[in-house]
Amino acid sequence: MIGLLQKYHCGSKIVLCILLLGVQKSAAECPNGWTRFNDSCYSFGHHDVTFLEATRFCSHYNAYLVIIESDAENKFIASVLEELNSNRHWIGLTDEIVEGTWKWYSTDKVANYTDWYPGQPDLGGRANCADILSSAPYAYHWLDDDCTSKFRPICERGLDTETSIVGK
Ligand SMILES: [Ca+2]
Ligand SMILES: [Ca+2]
Gap between the Cα atoms of 119 and 151, Å rounded: 21
How many angstroms does the Cα of residue 2 sit away from the middle of ligand 1?
A: 31
Q: Strand 152-158 and strand 141-145: pairing?
A: unpaired
Asked whether the CA dihedral 114, 117, 122, 123 is positive or negative, the reply is negative
Q: With contact defined as beta carbons under 8 Å apart, do 133 and 117 qualify?
A: yes
Query: How many residues can be counted in the chain?
Result: 168
Q: pTM value?
A: 0.80
How many angstroms does the Cα of residue 13 sit away from the middle of ligand 1?
A: 38
Gap between the Cα atoms of 157 and 168, Å rounded: 23
pLDDT band at 28 (very low <50, low <70, confident <90, very high): confident
pLDDT band at 160 (very low <50, low <70, confident <90, very high): confident
pLDDT value at residue 3: 46
Over residues 18-38, the mean pLDDT reads 73
